[in-house]
Structure 1
Amino acid sequence: MTSSNTFLSRRRWLGVLLLTALLHLLLIVWGSRQFSLPVSVERPEKLVMANIVPLPPVEKPVLLPQVPKAQPKPAPKPSSAVATAKPRAPTEPPVEVPDTPIRETVTPIVDAQPAGPAMADATAGNGASAANPAAEPPVPAAPAEAVPAAGKRYQTSPPPSAELKYNVEALQKGQNYHGSGKITWQTDGANYTINGQAGALFITVLDFKSGGEINGFGVAPVIYTQKRFRKPATETTFDREHNNIVFSSSANKYPRSGGEQDRASVVWQLASIGRGDSAQFSPGAVIDLFVAGPLDAETWRMQVVGQEQLEVDGNNLSVWHVIRIPEPGSHEQRLDIWLSPQQDWYPVRLRFTETDGDYLDMSLSKLKRLDTVLN
């Protein structure tokens, strides 16, 4: 009896415990729903899907000149007249030659003036170009290198020797200065010299010299020197022996083909063109001249603005106004020139304008004729 009661008692307690555990479990579930208790849920990490697109193949440059499409086998060796490009590796596919011939992308400058007599190129007989007179395979020029246009001949007649004195007005860094200048032009018909300077407040702002010959192109410089205030002197040489233009302060080198000018001779070449045939000057006319400075060279497009009335040393003169405006973005100065047909096309006024607005203005104050003896 005792063991039977003990067994029943244990069953009751076990039942009570199970009932209690069940009630607690129900209470927990009910409470989580009533009070929205956060339940920790492990979420899988997000996967980022990406499509890897292959890059396009590298385009290989096409070398000029092209090899003809149809080649007999075995292929002949390239001649000296063709650019010696390195042969491609055998594993690489050959470059297809387009049906349309490939041309260089250099746009030639077209003159607004009617073309004069053609230049007799000294190298035309052996097939060499004016840019490279030696009979060697042509080498593509660097993109930044300017090439002088094949010399156009203008009808020229250089002015007689004279000494020109100028009143100088300058604007430098917001300050106005007044001074004087002088240009001495001398020629005996076969050679010439130019000596010029401009100063303000007893300071020489610009000093330049040019010397050379008078030939079929007109004024043809051989050497040009320039000295600006607080800057070292520079020398530009038009090498006749090697047909090159070289600089003392720069490693640049340009081919010489005839008709090139320096920054002093260009004014007198324009005067020679006007004096040679005034019909070469008309409103809107363009005269292209390859001009070398102290460091490099480029084609200057000289635009004829037209005729203007200008008071020079108390006299009212009819003059031709010619301008050179640099390309947009260039740091070169603008040049304005006024030439007087009534006075043998001498430059009666010059104005050099920098990109920052500073300028040097030279207005003729006295003209003196000189003998033709060169210094």
Structure 2
Amino acid sequence: MTRLFLNAIQTVRSPRPPGSKAPRRWLFMLAISLLLHLSLIKWGSEMLGIQQSASHPAPIVIATLIGLPPVAKPILSPTPVAPKPAPVKPKAQKKTISRPQKISAEPEVPDTPIRETRTPILPTDAVSNIALGNAAEPVPITDNAANAATPTAPVPAAPPTASPTAAPSPTANALHFQTKPPPSAELKYDVEALSKGQTYHGGGKITWQTDGSHYTINGEAGVLFISALDFKSTGEINGFGVAPTLYTEKKFRKPPTSTTFQRDQNTITFSASANNYPRTGGEQDRASIVWQLASIGRGDASQIIPGSVIDLFVAGDKDAETWRFQVLGQEDIKVSTGTVKTWHLARKPQLGSTEKTLDIWLAPEQQWYPVRLRFTEKDGDYLDMSLSNLKQLVASAAPG
């Protein structure tokens, strides 16, 4: 086809005779031929392109359009919230505790006596320690403690090493001791005190008066002509024995105090503190405790046997506690009036404590009167009261 095109060009360029019409006809034919050729060339090119596309398909590119996420709003960090405090248990409201528990606490009942206030024995400032039952600063006990003591069951053949009984519960009040208070009497004592290696001497007196229904106790003690303590207890004689209603005491260089056993409200209150305890029967004060022990022995001697214990709830000048006395056995002791057969009872402090020991000697042959009292400190200092004179009095409960 290209050759034909070249031949046509050469023919056009060949000289023609003048006046000949042939060249025009050839030019016209040449133009038509060129158009046909161009059409064929274009058609062939398109056909070749189609075949090439069919034999070699164009690669397909697949694009996945992922929409952009919406613009997130700025998020502010939350303000940390403080954890709510744990709920606080409401404090228990004060209430009159079941004896012998203090209003503000509920400790367990100890098996041994609770502590007393320890006051050194001195001829001046501390002579106030010379007192019967000068136990103070007690720790209250719980509702399981009893008002009256519960001794080991009376068994004449019981060995001296019998273990003490447990503190009784309030229901044990119905099992109180048989009691019979001693007759009225005035007891005078020789007082000997040892303090820091120095020995001091003095005197004391306790007056016990009763008409069988009421009683009055007046006491005093001193050394070197100084009155260390004056005390007084008044009350009734009932089914529990000695039942105090009012106890007062005046220590050397200290204001007087009073402890009231309120019958109408059945409570024990103190002028020296806001403490109070329920009164259910059998409670004692520092002065009456000795005479209650004497009444127990006099009521039935079989209640006092070696190895037994007697628990009595005792109120001091500003608090109260259970005093546990152990019966140590029978002893013959010498006093100013001679040799006396006695029962020795002792209130022992807790193991490892610095409290004093209280020893009491009761004379069965002399109406169970306390013929000797001794208070011993941990360091060995002591206050000893030994009977020097005993005088029977006319039955009376009038204050003296």
TM-score by length of 2: 0.57
Unaligned residue ranges in structure 2 (runs of 5+): 1-84, 93-105, 110-143, 155-167
Tell me, yes or no, if the aligned pair for 1:148 and 1:290 is still in contact at 8 Å. no
Amino acid corresponding to residue 158 of structure 1 in structure 2: P
Q: Which of the residues 280, 286, 308 maps onto 1:285?
A: 308
Q: Which of the residues 293, 316, 322 maps onto 1:270?
A: 293
- Deviation for aligned residue 1:358: 3.2
Alpha-carbon displacement from aligned partner over 1:266-302 (angstroms, at most 9, x marks no partner): 0000000000000000001111100001110001111
SS at match of 1:257: coil
Q: Tell me: CA distance 1:174–1:191, structure 2 relative to 1, closer, same or farther (3 Å).
A: same
Q: Structure 1 CA distance, aligned partners of 2:334 and 2:238?
A: 34
Matched, 1:213 2:236: yes
Q: Tell me: CA distance 1:299–1:105, structure 2 relative to 1, closer, same or farther (3 Å).
A: closer
Partner of 2:200: 177
- Deviation for aligned residue 1:232: 1.9
Tell me, yes or no, if the aligned pair for 1:275 and 1:345 is still in contact at 8 Å. yes
Partner of 1:297: 320
Partner of 2:38: none
Q: Structure 2 CA distance, aligned partners of 1:183 and 1:255?
A: 29
Amino acid corresponding to residue 194 of structure 1 in structure 2: I
Tell me, yes or no, if the aligned pair for 1:158 and 1:218 is still in contact at 8 Å. yes
Q: Structure 1 CA distance, aligned partners of 2:327 and 2:86?
A: 48
Q: Which of the residues 318, 327, 338 maps onto 1:315?
A: 338
Q: Structure 2 CA distance, aligned partners of 1:345 and 1:267?
A: 10
Partner of 2:180: 157
- Deviation for aligned residue 1:252: 0.9
Q: Structure 2 CA distance, aligned partners of 1:190 and 1:290?
A: 21
Q: Structure 1 CA distance, aligned partners of 2:299 and 2:195?
A: 37
Q: Structure 1 CA distance, aligned partners of 2:248 and 2:107?
A: 34
Q: Structure 1 CA distance, aligned partners of 2:381 and 2:370?
A: 21
- Deviation for aligned residue 1:105: 8.0
Partner of 1:114: 153
Alpha-carbon displacement from aligned partner over 1:90-116 (angstroms, at most 9, x marks no partner): xxxxxxxxxxxxxx984546944239x
Q: Structure 1 CA distance, aligned partners of 2:305 and 2:226?
A: 38
Q: Structure 2 CA distance, aligned partners of 1:112 and 1:222?
A: 25
Partner of 2:381: 358
Q: Structure 1 CA distance, aligned partners of 2:87 and 2:380?
A: 45
Amino acid corresponding to residue 294 of structure 2 in structure 1: A
- Structure (1 or 2) with the larger CA radius of gyration: 2
Structure 1 segment 1-375 matched on structure 2, within 5 A: 106-107=108-109, 108=144, 111-114=150-153, 149-150=170-171, 151=173, 152-328=175-351, 332-373=355-396, 374-375=398-399
- Deviation for aligned residue 1:230: 2.1
Flag the structure with more relative contact order, 1 or 2, with Cα contacts below 8 A and sequence separation at least 6: 2
- Deviation for aligned residue 1:60: 8.9
- Deviation for aligned residue 1:242: 0.7
Which protein has the bigger helix share? Answer: 2
SS at match of 1:308: strand
Tell me, yes or no, if the aligned pair for 1:148 and 1:260 is still in contact at 8 Å. no
SS at match of 1:266: helix
- Deviation for aligned residue 1:241: 1.0
Q: Tell me: CA distance 1:310–1:106, structure 2 relative to 1, closer, same or farther (3 Å).
A: same
Q: Tell me: CA distance 1:354–1:236, structure 2 relative to 1, closer, same or farther (3 Å).
A: farther
Partner of 1:137: none
TM-score by length of 1: 0.61
Amino acid corresponding to residue 162 of structure 1 in structure 2: A
Tell me, yes or no, if the aligned pair for 2:150 and 2:176 is still in contact at 8 Å. no
- Deviation for aligned residue 1:353: 2.5
Amino acid corresponding to residue 362 of structure 1 in structure 2: M
Q: Structure 2 CA distance, aligned partners of 1:214 and 1:314?
A: 30
Q: Aligned pairs, how many?
A: 249
Q: Structure 2 CA distance, aligned partners of 1:166 and 1:253?
A: 34
Q: Structure 2 CA distance, aligned partners of 1:356 and 1:59?
A: 49
Alpha-carbon displacement from aligned partner over 1:47-93 (angstroms, at most 9, x marks no partner): xxxxxxxxxx98998999xxxxxxxxxxxxxxxxxxxxxxxxxxxxx
Q: Structure 1 CA distance, aligned partners of 2:341 and 2:233?
A: 28
Percent identical: 63
Q: Structure 2 CA distance, aligned partners of 1:229 and 1:63?
A: 40
Tell me, yes or no, if the aligned pair for 2:337 and 2:387 is still in contact at 8 Å. no
Partner of 1:123: none
Unaligned residue ranges in structure 1 (runs of 5+): 1-56, 65-103, 116-146
Amino acid corresponding to residue 267 of structure 1 in structure 2: V
Alpha-carbon displacement from aligned partner over 1:181-208 (angstroms, at most 9, x marks no partner): 1000000000000001111111012221
Q: Structure 1 CA distance, aligned partners of 2:241 and 2:188?
A: 24
Q: Structure 1 CA distance, aligned partners of 2:107 and 2:272?
A: 30
Tell me, yes or no, if the aligned pair for 1:349 and 1:364 is still in contact at 8 Å. yes
